[in-house]
Structure 1
Amino acid sequence: MSILPQRLPQGVSDRLGRGLARLGFTPNVLSVMGLVGNGAAATLAGLGELVAAGAVFLLFSAFDMLDGAVARATGKSTPYGAVLDAVLDRVSEALVLTGCAWHLAAHGAEWEVWSAFGALSGSIMVSYIRARAELAGRSLREGLLRRQERVVLLGLGLLTGYLGPVLLAMAVLAHLTALQRFVMLARALREAG
């Protein structure tokens, strides 16, 4: 069960991928752009410029989420690119959540700071369990709060000023998603013997 679709409809993502490829973007360039843009979003969040941080975060996260479409459009899908993208996604998310925590700590918002770190640890666990599933030869992309949902929620929290409640929801839902994925993986591995 997932809140948002796994990806854009194939026709839409293919057109976007081809368009970005024609402009000279490669999948790895988009991944690095996502990191740089999210580093800027983290800085803006840390400085308390939450609306600007939200806009930058959503923009560069969207670019980063199109790297796969560009890889398909150009035939440049590689194991290295997949690993680079996964690592930079984790770093980007950690930077932005740390920027949020920095801002909240400066305003004495203690439970919100803990929520930011809870969202970060939950996010890492969701991705870690997926990686372990892949090592075990299983595909595990399902889940209540995948990266797409985390990006949308955090972006909305930054844009609307409801950062604390959004971070708390992310922390709870990310850990529930990690548990959900763990149970799904454990069941599949037990059934396989």
Structure 2
Amino acid sequence: MLNIFARASVSRVTDPIGAALVRIGLTPNGMTLLGTAGAVIGALWLFPSDELLAGTFVVWGFAMFDLLDGAMARALGGGSKFGAVLDASCDRIADGALLAGVTWWCFVEARNHALAAAALICLVSAQVISYIKARAEASGLSANVGVVERAERLIITLVGTGLYGLGVPYAVHVALWLLAVLSLVTVVQRIVAVRRSALSATDGKVEG
């Protein structure tokens, strides 16, 4: 949802930066890989070590590279098909690493199995949400709906871990349970959207 409303405003800031990075010889795919590697290492090292505040800043910082690779692609006249697949794949890896790191923290550091269950729901549903859209688009259908997409998942998770790292009690608990509920809602929303899109496509063929 945030992607729709914030894209134009963010692009005005990131596009000049992306153009400058291209001029010094960096590539969009290289930026994608660098951002993913940093986010994965930060998530799987810092969160399991109970360094929630540091992990929040590291993962958030490297997640911002995802904005720059798109800006760099635009500076080069548009991204390639391989770059689009690489970017989407790396997003899934980074998202999985973040929620895996948080899940580990829930089990080992917080020793809260109920909270770990919420984190696992978030982890699995994040991958399902993305898969439904990708599979629908590959079938010529639409699933571009949902209350939580990648941006919202990152914000809710990292606000929770960051506030908890600053000493706010139950911040992670609220964030994970909220995200778990909203993620399941989004899964249902996308399946319903695909169903409607498929019925519309069928009706169009019958009328034609």
TM-score, normalised to structure 2, is 0.85
2:144 is matched with 141
- Superposition RMSD in Å: 1.7
- Runs of 4 or more, structure 1, over 6 Å off, are none
After the TM superposition, which residues 39-118 of structure 1 pair with which residues of structure 2 at under 5 Å, given as runs?
39-42=40-43, 43-75=45-77, 77-106=79-108, 107-118=110-121
Deviations 1:8-58 (A, max 9, x none): 424334223213323433111121112111122211011010000000111
Shift of 1:100: 0.9
When the two structures are aligned, how many residues end up with a matched partner? Answer: 192
Aligned counterpart, 1:25: 26
How many angstroms apart in 2 are the aligned matches of 1:119 and 1:8?
28
Offset of 1:190 from its aligned partner? 0.4
Unaligned runs of 5+ in 2: 165-170, 203-208
Q: Relative contact order: is structure 1 or structure 2 higher (C-alpha 8 Å, sep ≥ 6)? A: 1
Which secondary structure state, in structure 1, belongs to the residue aligned with residue 161 of structure 2? helix
Corresponding residue for residue 184 of structure 1:
193
Could you list the per-position Cα deviations for residues 42-75 of structure 1 after superposition, in whole angstroms to 9, with x for gaps in the alignment? 1101101000000011111111233222111113
* Letter in structure 1 aligned against 2:89: V
- Which residue matches 1:151? 154
Hey, what's the Cα distance between the residues in 2 that align with 1:151 and 1:22?
A: 30
**Cα offsets for 1:136-191 (capped at 9, x unmatched):** 22454332100011111111111101122211111111121121111112101101
Secondary structure, counterpart of 2:7 in structure 1: coil
CA contact (8 A) 2:2 2:152 kept: yes
Greater gyration radius: 2
**Secondary structure, aligned partner of 2:47:** helix
The alpha-carbon distance between structure 1 residues 49 and 8, as it changes in their structure 2 partners (threshold 3 A), is farther
Using the aligned pairs only, state the percent identity.
34
C-alpha distance in 2 between matches for 1:184 and 1:15: 36
Q: Any unmatched runs of 5+ in structure 1? A: none
